[in-house]
Structure 1
Amino acid sequence: MLDEIDNRLLAALQRDAHMTAQELGEQLHLSPSQAGRRRQRLESEGYIQAYTARLDPVRLGLNVQGFVQVHLHSHGPEHSAAFARLLATRSEIVSAWTMTGDADYLLRVYCADLPSLNRLIHEVLLPHKTVARVHSQIVMDQLKQDGPLPT
């Protein structure tokens, strides 16, 4: 069970995961050791899964962000497993969700350019034995960055 201090600690770490126990303690009005113990507990209980760096895709040469909806031919466990194996091999697919509604999967992709996105769709996704069709959308501008989770 999370209390108000835990929620504030999680919010602070989502803003800046590099905060020291000293800095957390100052923000939360706790001693550094209390703040550190709370952080360790939240890590061990799985509330904090990882610490990552947010990279600038454009500076890395990834100029096209897109979302690709994937529709499968059929929906057996073997088809889903085969498609999941394909997803795991492609670094340009940065996240994937199974969906309700019309599409079976929604993929978030980053590619260097439009020809790269075209190759991903036409040479990787569409030829896969489980894929019936895809629908892609290219991001023109991202108005809000991936934000912290509400706490």
Structure 2
Amino acid sequence: MSELDRHDRRILRALQENGRLGNNELAELVGLSASQCSRRRTALEQSGCISGYHAHLDRSKIEQSLISYISVTLHAHTTDNAQLFKSLVADLPMVMEVHALTGEMDYLLKVVCADLQSLNELINNVMLPHASVGHVKTAIVLETFKETSSIPV
């Protein structure tokens, strides 16, 4: 897709706020006709700018309210070891995000689980025994002031 214009950006902002908007509602919000919104939405989807639509869940209502950040240093800094670690975290549903970093730690994981016992089991029974993991450091979130999945457009 070519560069986004102001209408595309308005559509993306509106859909990030509410992915269930119909074309008529979207048209009212962004100042275009419903057919123009439909064509633009389809183009944004086909180009990959919109990669999907998701429900935002309330963690406390589904008993997954403990958030923690786990910093991981690999046992050895080799391509094979990094791939072993990536395979490990890819199969862990409680790991929401994984970021490779510069600096003291190699990876930062955002983890959501039910309680401290679940977190403890993840760290002590899954991560620490894994051959790729050298060191783990955990920080538990006490309070969340801001959380968004919206990208500024």
TM-score by length of 2: 0.95
Hey, what's the Cα distance between the residues in 2 that align with 1:31 and 1:144?
A: 34
SS for the counterpart of 2:151 is coil
Residue 102 of structure 1 is matched in structure 2 by 104
Q: CA deviation at 1:100?
A: 1.1
Does 1:132 find its partner at 2:124?
Answer: no
Q: Which amino acid aligns with 2:33?
A: S
1:60-79, aligned counterparts within 5 Å?
Answer: 60-79=62-81
Identity, % of aligned positions: 39
1:12 and 1:22 mapped to 2: Cα distance? 13
The Cα of 1:132 is off from its aligned counterpart by 0.6
Q: How much has 1:54 moved relative to structure 2?
A: 0.7
Write the distance in 2 (CA, Å) between the matches of 1:78 and 1:147: 32
Please give the alpha-carbon distance, in whole angstroms, between the structure 2 residues aligned to 1:41 and 1:148.
20
Q: Show structure 2 runs of 5+ residues with no match.
A: none
Task: Determine the C-alpha separation between the residues in 2 that align with 1:67 and 1:57.
Answer: 16
What residue number does 1:118 align with?
Answer: 120
- Structure 2 distance, partners of 1:48, 1:134, is 35
**Superposed CA offset, 1:15-50 (max 9, x none):** 100111111111122110100100000111111111
CA distance, structure 2, for counterparts of residue 111 and residue 29 of structure 1: 42
Query: Hey, what does 2:47 align to over in structure 1?
Result: 45
Q: Distance in 2 between matches of 1:63 and 1:22?
A: 36
Task: Give the TM-score taking structure 1 as reference length.
Answer: 0.96
Distance 1:20 1:75 in 2: 49
Give distance in 2, aligned partners of 1:28 and 1:57: 31
**How many residue pairs were aligned?**
151
User: What CA distance in whole angstroms lies between the structure 2 residues aligned with 1:54 and 1:29?
Assistant: 27
How far residue 63 of structure 1 moved from its aligned partner, in angstroms, is 2.7
Instruction: Give the gaps of 5 or more residues in structure 1.
Output: none
Give the Cα–Cα distance (whole angstroms) in 1 for the partners of residues 46 and 78 of structure 2: 36
Query: What stretches of structure 1 move > 3 A for 4+ residues in a row?
Result: none
Alpha-carbon RMSD: 0.9
How many Å separate the matches in 2 of 1:121 and 1:30? 51
Listed one character per residue, the Cα deviations across residues 63-84 of structure 1 (whole Å, up to 9, x for unaligned) are 3110000000222111111111
Cα displacement (A) at 1:147: 4.0
Amino acid at match of 1:3: D
Q: Secondary structure at the match of 2:112?
A: strand
Residues 115-137 of structure 1 deviation map (CA, whole Å, 9 limit, x = unaligned)? 11111111111111011100100
